[in-house]
């Protein structure tokens, strides 16, 4: 069978750069499309073609499709910081919605019908029950979540019109890093829990903040479903294979571990894995945060034949390996 070429938008970012490595190992040929606004040039492996382009400019996408014969697109490129989306909604709609529309329109022009889309558990807002199934009503709580719902809706309409086949993967809390130590989350001021726990373990910050301690959860702190970035990428690979197999495809699928851990449980597990004390202080809850968000991954199991392989300890130990690597460079 001919090697399939996959355009990875956001391929120089945290999840995209893991995906590029997983694709190569599975015998696909990745091509990276990234504007390097939040991605990192050093995350691009040698030998992988790179198009420095912006989804807001259709000409950049067209050039990529002229230069490379693409069989499918995995679309990660997006802005992802929820509080920022509340302050700067236009920026989010322009990058995430207009950028996706440009991408889909150029895909149609180039005759490319397959796309795996990065969606988010954010589309469920505050869920009515856990674990969350895909047929839970969508309730967005911020502009970031709204952009994900809108793009899913656009994909649904394009698929209905026979112009596109897609799998939208709704990520729960993605964390961890590649065992090579080459890539991981790289942000000066991370907002997510696990990178903040790692910074506290390495002594980069004196103490971390635990946001909210009066939630209706077993220990009062927020409960989330953490999924290893490599488990997540392996699910994308299966989604890609499903697209190549099916004549029509319009699926929305949760990707999570199916288990919830509270903030305090994560801190305790990280103390064990790192052998470091993690100082923290209890703080008021962050506006807009939910008490508990846990995935059902039954649909992923049924439709993709996927199940997570890596648990919280492996997530934390790989994140710790990466944290030590970036700390040693600064």
Let me know how long the chain is: 330
125 binds ligand UDP (CB under 6 A): no
CA distance linking residue 253 with residue 256, whole number of Å = 10
Q: Is 226 exposed, middle or buried (0-12, 13-18, 19+ CB in 10 A)?
A: buried
Q: Are 303 and 242 in contact (CB under 8 A)?
A: yes
| Shorter beta-carbon distance to ligand UDP: residue 96 or 102 | 96
Q: Are 315 and 184 in contact (CB under 8 A)?
A: no
What minimum distance in Å lies between the beta carbon of 221 and ligand UDP? 7
Q: Provide the strand spans (E) within 76-171.
A: 114-120, 165-171
By annotation, the residues acting in catalysis are 144
What minimum distance in Å lies between the beta carbon of 288 and ligand UDP? 8
Candidates 28-36, 186-194, 252-260, 296-304; binding stretch for ligand UDP (CB under 6 A): 186-194
Number of residues that bind ligand UDP (CB under 6 A): 15
Among 65, 166, 211, 297, the residue binding ligand UDP under the rule CB under 6 A is: 211
**CA pseudo-torsion sign 238, 241, 245, 246:** positive
13 binds ligand UDP (CB under 6 A): no
Among 102, 173, 274, 296, the residue binding ligand UDP under the rule CB under 6 A is: 173
Candidates 42-50, 64-72, 192-200, 299-307; binding stretch for ligand UDP (CB under 6 A): 192-200
**CA pseudo-torsion sign 76, 44, 73, 135:** negative
Binding mask 51-70 for ligand UDP (x = CB under 6 A): --------------------
Q: Which of residues 225-284 bind ligand UDP (CB under 6 A)?
A: 263
What minimum distance in Å lies between the beta carbon of 43 and ligand UDP? 21
**CA pseudo-torsion sign 104, 107, 111, 114:** negative
Query: Under the rule (CB under 6 A), what is the footprint of ligand UDP?
Result: 173, 191-193, 196, 208-212, 222, 224, 263, 286, 289
């Amino acid at each position: 069978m001919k090697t399939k070429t996959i355009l990875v938008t956001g391929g120089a970012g945290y999840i995209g750069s893991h995906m590029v490595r997983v694709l190569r190992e599975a015998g696909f040929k990745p091509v990276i499309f990234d504007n390097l606004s939040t991605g990192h040039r050093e995350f691009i492996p040698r030998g992988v073609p790179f198009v420095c382009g912006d989804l807001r400019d259709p000409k950049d996408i067209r050039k990529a499709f002229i230069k490379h014969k693409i069989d499918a697109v995995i679309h990660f490129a997006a802005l992802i910081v929820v509080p920022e989306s509340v302050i700067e909604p236009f920026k989010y709609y322009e990058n995430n919605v207009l950028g996706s529309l440009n991408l889909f329109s150029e895909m149609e022009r180039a005759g490319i019908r397959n796309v795996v889309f990065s969606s988010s558990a954010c589309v469920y807002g505050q869920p009515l029950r856990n674990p969350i199934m895909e047929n839970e009503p969508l309730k967005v709580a911020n502009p970031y979540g709204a952009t994900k719902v809108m793009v899913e809706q656009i994909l649904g309409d394009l698929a209905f019109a026979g112009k596109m086949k897609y799998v939208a993967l709704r990520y729960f809390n993605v964390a961890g890093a590649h065992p090579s130590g080459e890539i991981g989350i790289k942000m000066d001021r991370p907002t997510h829990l696990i990178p903040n726990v790692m910074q506290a373990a390495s002594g980069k910050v004196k103490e971390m903040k635990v946001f909210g301690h009066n939630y209706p959860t077993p220990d009062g702190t927020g409960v989330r479903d953490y999924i290893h970035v490599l488990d997540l990428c392996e699910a994308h690979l299966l989604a890609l294979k499903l697209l190549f197999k099916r004549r029509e495809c319009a699926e929305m699928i949760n990707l999570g571990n199916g288990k919830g851990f509270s903030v305090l449980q994560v801190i305790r597990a990280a103390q064990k894995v790192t052998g470091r004390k993690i100082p923290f202080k209890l703080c008021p809850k962050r506006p807009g945060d939910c008490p508990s968000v846990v995935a059902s991954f039954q649909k992923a199991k049924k439709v993709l034949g996927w199940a997570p392989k890596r648990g919280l300890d492996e997530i934390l130990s790989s994140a710790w390996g990466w944290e030590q690597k970036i700390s040693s460079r600064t």
